[in-house]
Chain A
Amino acid sequence: MSFDLNFIGILIGAIMASSVPLILAASGELITERSGVLNLGVEGMMIIGAISGFALMVVTDNLFFAVIGSMFSGLIISLIFGLLTQSLLTNHVATGLALTIFGIGMSAMIGKNFVGIPGKEFPLLFLSLKESIPFLGPIFFGHSIILYFAFGLPFLTNYFLKKTKTGLIIRAVGDSPTSASNQGINVTLVRYSCILYGGAMCGLAGAYLSLIYTPQWIENMTGGRGWIALALVVFATWSPIKVLIGALIFGGITILQLHMQAVGLRIPVQLLSALPYIMTIIVLVVISRDSRKIKLNTPTSLGQIFYKEK
């Protein structure tokens, strides 16, 4: 394994790129869950975002429309979830699972005509800086705009939840919808908004995969990343910053284990393949040991159906 500094920089850059879909989807889901809604449809919303982004790119030849459109389609599909769970009061878990199954099937159907079409080059920013500065260049420069957005998002989310009034309202709704409702907060409206926001972020995460990371459409191309994002939210104990850390560890070990295989280290390959999952859980459990903080962050009404008596 070569150990020069620039190579390590490139490696870190690659790790950052691979964790973007996890950060986006998990940050979106985090807001949804903080409002007390458990949406297990992350994978389904991501895959819908992936196909809509790619299809729009092919049809309109415009990456801006593709990205916006993918967020919009994630939002639309999460609206279905919202209608079912918030207006028709169906079970969150069952509805979320159905959403994932629906998303995978639906994307495959839409995607029929888009298989095998090469993607378009997505513009990367500051490419010249990436090459001219050793080590730090490949870490900080030469990424897509979505990556920069994704890395800012957990901090924005943290600020939003802790310091703004809207954030407080969301947390109140998640902790005790009845009290919030008695305070005059429209619980259903707040939850709808959080569901739609989560859907849009998952759509964007999907589009990152089909437009930037592996620019093409293939059935099931999210490959379970939605489920990992869901698990990240829980293991990060609903803290946006820990979501970011978790996503980086997961992405980092995934890539490092491939490098270890390529180098030919004599470690069982199955162990290496399992390493990202094991390490992410261990690290997040260790950094989230403070049970008082966990209690503070956990939305108490998560997954419970709220029904306002008239």
Chain B
Amino acid sequence: MYKLFLRSLISVLFLLGFSLNANAEFKVGFVYVGPTGDHGWTYQHDEGRKAVEAAGIKTTYVESVPEGADAERVIRQLAQSGHDLIFTTSFGYMDPTNKVAKDFPNVKFEHATGYKRDHSNVSTYSARFYEGRTLLGHMAGKMTKTNTIGYIASFPIPEVIRGINAMTLAAQKVNPDIKTKIVWVFTWYDPGKESEAAQALIDQGADIIMQHTDSTAPVQVAEKAGVWSFGQASDMQRFAPKSILTSIIDDWAPYYVERSIAARDGTWKQQDTWHGLKEGMVAMAPYNSAMGGDLVKEVEQLQKDLASGKAHSFTGPIYDQKGNILVAEGAVADDGMLAGMNVYVKGVEGDIPQ
């Protein structure tokens, strides 16, 4: 809290400074939900900001901003202090971003993972992380000996459920006998709880551990237990060099640079972006050679196919747990369905917490 106070103080000083300096140069602001050193979500956004800085554009960031009333104040301060483009990088900033955008029609706003674009100066963007999950599922299905995949889930929101489904579908394709066991921890990071969850899954026979939480604790548990694992959001390889097969990496840098330059040059337009492997917003860390050259080749091919559009993570026929058809044979799920996904596909064990 005192950090927040300090930051508010600094922001106020900024505000004073820039109101005296009306013809300030072009500046981009970033609002982060976590610390830049979380080695996951916010870390990757900050890497993107550094790329913007490297492209010769001035940037400012405010980290660990809670999703709520504080967020609106921080966004408003950034807008008032002469920032021309503001990236708000968490789902919970959706309403505050739109509220502030209304009062600052000349400032451009970019909100990550949301869907509200109430004003013409608000864009939204997100990444198709599920394409990465498809690749993980393929590897998991091939590598498992116990046919049990352990999945540590955070919160029951469409993004997390989409990941579980994409992974399960891909794993079933190469190994029809696999089961996905899920443990919900109801946190984005709590290393203690995440490692207990990983251990519970391993004890219940999972020999593949994957996570939709942000700490490196699960991969470390997997390393110790001698089972396979996958890193999340950034390359976690050095935390579990033997166990990690690959990591899904969120790469925001090209998008941030492109949008910042567009805003500076006056070509910025409102849009909704959902980029994946094709555009490089979702990238894969180097594949672990322990899985064998043939499998690496297969996965690399699948990665290419997903990128080119030849393959799709959600290709029919897809059934829900009760056997109702979700996507017809030969069809692929559209973005609307993906964005609102709230049922498990067949083969996932358990119920979604309501």
Of the candidates A14, A108, A216, A269, the one whose C-beta lies within 8 Å of that of B3 is A108
> Given the complex of chains A and B, what is the CA–CA distance between A225 and B206 in angstroms?
28
Chain B residues near A255 (CB-CB < 8 A)? 196, 199-200
> Given the complex of chains A and B, what is the CA–CA distance between A189 and B35 in angstroms?
40
In contact, B195 and A214 (Cβ under 8 angstroms): yes
In contact, A219 and B35 (Cβ under 8 angstroms): yes
Interface size on B, residues (CB 8 A): 44
> What's the count of A-B pairs with C-beta under 8 Å?
110
> Given the complex of chains A and B, what is the CA–CA distance between A108 and B1 in angstroms?
11
In contact, A216 and B220 (Cβ under 8 angstroms): yes
Whole-angstrom distance between the Cβ of A222 and the nearest chain B Cβ: 8
With A115-B37, A116-B37 in contact, is A263–B204 under 8 Å at CB? yes
With A14-B199, A216-B220, A258-B197 in contact, is A101–B1 under 8 Å at CB? yes
In contact, B203 and A7 (Cβ under 8 angstroms): yes
Q: Which of B35, B206, B351 has the most CB of A within 10 A?
A: B35
Whole-angstrom distance between the Cβ of B174 and the nearest chain A Cβ: 23
In contact, B184 and A261 (Cβ under 8 angstroms): yes
In contact, A214 and B191 (Cβ under 8 angstroms): yes
B35 and chain A: residue at smallest CB distance: A219
B60 at the binding interface (Cβ < 8 Å) = no
A167 at the binding interface (Cβ < 8 Å) = no
Chain A residues near B206 (CB-CB < 8 A)? 262
Q: Beta-carbon contacts of A41-69 to B below 8 Å, as 1s and 0s?
A: 00000000000000000000000000000
In contact, B204 and A214 (Cβ under 8 angstroms): no
Q: Which chain A residues in 76-120 approach chain B with CB under 8 Å? A: 101-102, 105, 108-109, 111-112, 115-116, 118
With A214-B192, A258-B196, A258-B197 in contact, is A268–B37 under 8 Å at CB? no
Whole-angstrom distance between the Cβ of B267 and the nearest chain A Cβ: 37
Interface of chain A, main secondary structure: helix
In contact, A273 and B184 (Cβ under 8 angstroms): yes
B132 at the binding interface (Cβ < 8 Å) = no
Whole-angstrom distance between the Cβ of A217 and the nearest chain B Cβ: 9
Whole-angstrom distance between the Cβ of B350 and the nearest chain A Cβ: 5
> Given the complex of chains A and B, what is the CA–CA distance between A90 and B189 in angstroms?
35
> Given the complex of chains A and B, what is the CA–CA distance between A203 and B204 in angstroms?
34
> Given the complex of chains A and B, what is the CA–CA distance between A116 and B234 in angstroms?
11
Chain B residues near A109 (CB-CB < 8 A)? 3
Q: Which chain A residues in 192-235 approach chain B with CB under 8 Å? A: 209, 213-216, 218-221, 223, 225
B348 and chain A: residue at smallest CB distance: A264
How big is chain A's contact interface, by range? 35 or more
In contact, A259 and B37 (Cβ under 8 angstroms): no
In contact, A11 and B191 (Cβ under 8 angstroms): no
Chain B residues near A263 (CB-CB < 8 A)? 181, 204
A254 and chain B: residue at smallest CB distance: B196
Chain A residues near B2 (CB-CB < 8 A)? 101-102, 105
In contact, A270 and B3 (Cβ under 8 angstroms): no
Chain B residues near A18 (CB-CB < 8 A)? 192, 196
Of the candidates A1, A111, A209, A221, the one whose C-beta lies within 8 Å of that of B204 is A1
In contact, B192 and A259 (Cβ under 8 angstroms): no
Chain A residues near B351 (CB-CB < 8 A)? 266, 269
In contact, A259 and B200 (Cβ under 8 angstroms): yes
Q: Which chain B residues in 197-224 approach chain A with CB under 8 Å? A: 197, 199-201, 203-206, 215-217, 220
In contact, A118 and B238 (Cβ under 8 angstroms): yes
Q: Which of A112, A259, A269, A270 has the most CB of B within 10 A?
A: A269
A281 at the binding interface (Cβ < 8 Å) = no
Chain B residues near A10 (CB-CB < 8 A)? 203
Q: Which chain B residues in 17-43 approach chain A with CB under 8 Å? A: 34-35, 37-39
Chain A residues near B350 (CB-CB < 8 A)? 261, 264, 266
Whole-angstrom distance between the Cβ of B66 and the nearest chain A Cβ: 12
The 7 closest A-B pairs by CB, nearest first: A115-B37, A258-B200, A214-B191, A262-B204, A223-B190, A269-B353, A264-B349
Write 8 A-B pairs (CB below 8 A) sorted by A numbering.
A7-B203, A111-B37, A112-B37, A118-B238, A213-B195, A214-B195, A219-B34, A273-B184
What residues of chain A have their CB less than 8 Å away from a CB belonging to chain B?
1-2, 7, 10-11, 14, 18, 101-102, 105, 108-109, 111-112, 115-116, 118, 209, 213-216, 218-221, 223, 225, 254-255, 258-259, 261-264, 266, 268-270, 273
Beyond A116-B37, A214-B195, 12 additional contacts (C-beta under 8 Å) are: A14-B199, A209-B192, A214-B217, A218-B38, A219-B34, A221-B192, A255-B196, A262-B150, A262-B201, A262-B203, A266-B350, A268-B353
